[in-house]
Amino acid sequence: MVLLVAACLFTLIVSAQVSERFKEQLNAINAIKNDSIRFDSLYHFGRFVSDDDIPSAILIGKDLVREGELHNNDRAIANGNYLLGICYQFLPDFPQALKHYLVALRLQKQLNNVNFEIGTCLDIANVYEETGDLELQKQFILQAKKISDEHLNDPTLGRKRLMIFNNLGTISKKEGKYDSAIVFYNEVITGARRAGNLSLLIAGLGNQAIVYKTTKNFNAALKDYNDAIALIDTNATDFESQFQLAAILDNLGNLYYEKGDYKQAERSLLKSIELNKKVNVIDIYRDSYETLRKVYIAIKRYPEALDYYDRWVTVKDTILNKQKSQQIKELQTRYDTETKDKQITTQETQIAYNRKINFFLVLVSVLLLVIGALAFISQRRTAALNKEISHRKREVEQLNDVKDRIFSVISHDMKTPVNSLIAFTQILEGGNISTEKMTKYAAALKTTLGYTAGLMENLLNWARTQMQGYKPVMETFNISGTVQQAINLIKQDADSKQVSINTLIEGETLVFADTNMTALLLRNLLSNALKYTPNGGTISLSANTAEGKVNLSIEDTGVGMEASQVNAFNSAAYAQLLESKPGTNQEKGTGLGLMLCKNFASLMQGSIVLESEPGKGSKFIVTLLMP
């Protein structure tokens, strides 16, 4: 009875954490009385959600695993773990993905779910392909083939067999075993033609053509590409047909280029580009532009070559920007997932506690003499748990505030350098610009990009500190060298503001800390001091030892800080971004650097104290351990 109550509570927790737009469907599924139907519906709903909301899909997967364990339903446990494997592969968190895929594979084998078992082997192979482990990728593809060979009379496995041969062909191609690759792709082509699977047939012909092209068998490659084109309805308007035709024409153009038939190459590539306008696959644009550039160089049509080179550069930059955006999106998804996991962990603690209370209440009905003692213990534990829940709630709220602030800064500040770079590129393309103006614009662009690079470095370092298990590498080193390196990095900017930097740290001053964290901490504090110190000002550094610790002081003659900012920074609960004001020369900032310094000092068992008054400069005292 207690277990059933706990399971119901966990289901309610999941329903509360899943995105609002999916709650109605999830509640409807949880209301289904038949366990098998409910578990299958929950799995398919999780697959649907995973296309759009990974954190919510992870919660559904965990709920499905717990429900399956509670009802001893191996099918539900297998499906839940497979769903979690898909989600973590997308994040990407490959160790977690492999962990859940392997659990799903083991249970599917016990359930004799052959189709699912083969599919999971291929998914695991895909994970190892993404991690670059060719041997393990090959091992799981061969495992899938072995299972398929044991069920040759199963007609439902036809498509899976073709996928296995296609994967084996790809492995052989990577290993340079081109004859084996041709054999496997022939299996795909023959099987797909027999089964009427047009998509796999076209893929097999295209892959085989690539192998023939690699081995310089251009005629065979040309035949395969033409056969593939003949299978595609050129009048079709669906995405898959137009994409396949654009991709094949791109590869065909490359083949003609390598053969030296530049006229046919140009014709195929231009057709590919025209078709790609309907599906807008950026990788096809990139490859087509690059090959066309080579074609026009070969036939000495240099203006066209330059034009397609410019297009290629633009597309390449677009791909790079998309990759960066994807990295930020993955960071956001990871953060959301971890936040929801923390919330569920807190609530699971409450469930576990309530389970204990239920157990104690059963004993109370029999042992009246211990009611007082149990009530006293219950009250104390409840108070401690409520305190812990409140503390964690505040931490989550602070993390959300910081996250919202950071992404607000990114959404605003990342636009400026990108727009500046685009504008500068357009000016260069125009060509009508004097050397003086070009130097002026380049200097301004350098400043903007320098600020953005600093912002991204601080952001990535902050993200690392938020990851579970992140620890500093403590070692003994001389702080003097680290201080001098930090000074050298800002020396040019200090000279431009005529700010003198005086260091009184001499000889060997040893500390026990993380070298990289200390260096980044010093860079941020020195940059902050320089930003708020007016022209002709001074920055001073000194160090002393006391009570087994090193106190490093960084003092400036800048504009100082308000008492409220000083008190907020020195607070033990400081975990927020201070409002950043422009520097004395209108230098920009985000406040992330000071928060990062505070986090790093704490991770190294040290501290930072701020002393400052408006108009009287600021003094940061960094305390580090001695060896």
Are 67 and 7 in contact, with CB atoms under 8 Å apart?
yes
Burial of 468: CB neighbours in 10 Å, binned 0-12, 13-18, 19+? exposed
Domain final residue pick, 111, 138, 168: 111
Domain final residue pick, 468, 488, 512: 468
Confidence (pLDDT) at 460: 59
Do residue 424 and residue 488 come from a single domain?
no
Range of the domain at 46: 1-111
Q: Strands, E, within 92-152: which ranges? A: none
Residue bearing the bigger pLDDT, 594 or 189: 189
Do residue 448 and residue 479 come from a single domain?
no
| Amino acid sitting at position 67 | E
Q: Return the structure tokens found at 174.
A: 């990577």
Domain count, the chain: 3
Do residue 482 and residue 620 come from a single domain?
yes
Q: At residue 212, does pLDDT exceed 80?
A: yes
Q: At residue 412, does pLDDT exceed 50?
A: no
Q: At residue 90, does pLDDT exceed 90?
A: no
How many C-alpha atoms does 508 have within 13 Å on its Cβ side? 4
Do residue 480 and residue 612 come from a single domain?
yes
Look up tokens 């900012």; give the residue: 565
Distance of CA 381 to the CA centre of its chain: 39
Identify the CA nearest to 189 among candidates 203, 201, 207.
201
Please report which confidence band the pLDDT of residue 363 belongs to, taking 50, 70 and 90 as the band edges. confident
Find the CATH number of the domain harbouring 519: 3.30.565.10
Q: Return the structure tokens found at 513.
A: 């800390």
Do residue 578 and residue 501 come from a single domain?
yes
Are 106 and 122 in contact, with CB atoms under 8 Å apart?
no
Do residue 446 and residue 554 come from a single domain?
no
Whether 182 is covered by a domain: the verdict is no
Name residues whose C-beta falls within 8 Å of residue 497's C-beta, 6 or more positions apart in sequence. 530, 533, 534, 535, 537, 584, 585
Helix (H, G, I), strand (E, B) or coil at 167: helix
Whether 355 is covered by a domain: the verdict is no
Whether 499 is covered by a domain: the verdict is yes
Do residue 478 and residue 616 come from a single domain?
yes
Do residue 52 and residue 80 come from a single domain?
yes
Look up tokens 């260091």; give the residue: 503
Look up tokens 């087509």; give the residue: 288
Look up tokens 């087994």; give the residue: 548
Whether 282 is covered by a domain: the verdict is no
Phi, psi at 477, each rounded to 5°: -155, 165
| Amino acid sitting at position 621 | I
Whether 94 is covered by a domain: the verdict is yes
Whether 128 is covered by a domain: the verdict is no
Cα(68)–Cα(59) distance, rounded to whole angstroms? 14
Domain final residue pick, 111, 145, 176: 111
Whether 297 is covered by a domain: the verdict is no
Confidence (pLDDT) at 33: 87
Distance of CA 405 to the CA centre of its chain: 19
Do residue 447 and residue 520 come from a single domain?
no
Do residue 481 and residue 619 come from a single domain?
yes
Return the DSSP state at 532: T
* Percent of the chain residues topping a pLDDT of 70: 75
Whether 530 is covered by a domain: the verdict is yes
Do residue 486 and residue 610 come from a single domain?
yes
Do residue 490 and residue 429 come from a single domain?
no
Please report which confidence band the pLDDT of residue 14 belongs to, taking 50, 70 and 90 as the band edges. very low
Identify the CA nearest to 424 among candidates 403, 408, 436, 440.
440
| H/E stretch holding 530 | helix 515-531
